[in-house]
Amino acid sequence: MKRATLRDVAQAVGVTVATVSRALRNYPDISPATKQAVLAAERLRYAPHPLAVKLRQKSCRVVGAVVPQIGHPFFAGVISGIVDAAEARGCHVILSQSDESYEKEIRVTQRLRATGVDGLLVCLSDQTVDVAHLRDLQDYDLPVVLFGKISPALDASTVVTNDFQGGYDATAHLLAQGLTRVAHIKGAAHPENTRQRYAGYRAALAAYGLPLRPEYVAECQRVAPAEGFACARQLMALPEPPQAIFAVTDAVAIGALAALGQAGLRVPQDVALVGFSDWAVCELLDPALSSVARPGYEIGQQASELLLREIQQLRDGQPVVHEHRVLAATLRVRQSSARATAPAS
């Protein structure tokens, strides 16, 4: 017989999961009758999670953080922000990665819970659609804060970049130079951040009175340079190829840049190009790559601060208040998209 969850106990007793959690921690606002009923859940073989013990000790010791790729340039800044904010409050960080795998994300979050972390910071993998595994963690009174890639299906605090605005600004920058044939290499259909960038692209086209041309939208699944290379070749093989490309990430843009160079096309004279994330390498490319900057350090810092606040609220027996923060995306214009000879809009 497997160990029962707080939800199992709540259903058996006929109360909420929050009431079960508070009864097990002997909160004074829970009636003796309810406490007795909850304690009778021993027949369900319920065992308090180590987190409950730590909450009674009134000490924050460790928070867990899950990112898709630890070695990714963007997440290097995010991790620094997470660690700095946590250590400023006397907490340590256990770091893990999902490798953009939904199955591995489930495994590592469950493993972190088993270690008794005080809370979790999670950037969802590209494959994650169902967030039931994170909802289950919340049922254990384990706070979860999402950042970067989030899901509206989970009731949790979030910290993201304004991906819609970034996509809009990148596309509008190209359109403002009179480049009416602007293509987009988009990410997979379900990650919220890539969906927002695509939405920004579409909104900019509409603002300039241009239709969405399906042949100018190419999709990649793993947003890798090889896919950017293949998608750029696909776009430039069209009977009426695009004059500019907005790529969903810098990795995709770098692949596209290689494809354009191999085809003998000049950037930006023949094809203008803009990426997203503003990796440090963007300034070192030839030509230097225009990109939409994401404030990685601030995202990590603010996500960590929100998690620590929720841990404190839970500890103090207060309602956990979720907050949604959207940080500005900033277009960095460099040589790859600055077409001084382009006709006026």
Q: How confident is the model over 66-124, as pLDDT tens digits?
A: 999 998 999 999 999 999 999 999 999 999 999 999 999 999 999 999 888 999 999 99
CATH of 163-294+331-337, one of 3.30.70.260, 3.50.50.60, 3.40.50.2300, 3.40.50.10440: 3.40.50.2300
Task: Please give the DSSP secondary-structure letter assigned to residue 89.
Answer: T
Tokens representing 121 are 């910071």
CATH of 60-155+297-327, one of 3.40.50.1100, 3.20.20.150, 3.40.50.2300, 3.30.1330.60: 3.40.50.2300
Output the CATH code of domain 1-48: 1.10.260.40
Q: Give pLDDT tens digits for 233-268.
A: 999 999 999 999 999 999 999 999 999 999 999 999
- Torsions phi, psi for 152 (to 5 deg): -70, -10
Query: Residue 28 burial by CB count (10 A; 0-12/13-18/19+): exposed, middle or buried?
Result: exposed
Tokens representing 281 are 């390498």
pTM higher than the cut 0.85? no
Distance (Å, rounded) from C-alpha 138 to C-alpha 320?
Answer: 11
Predicted local confidence at residue 1, as pLDDT: 43
Same fold, 60-155+297-327 and 163-294+331-337: yes
**Domain limits, the chain:** 1-48, 60-155+297-327, 163-294+331-337
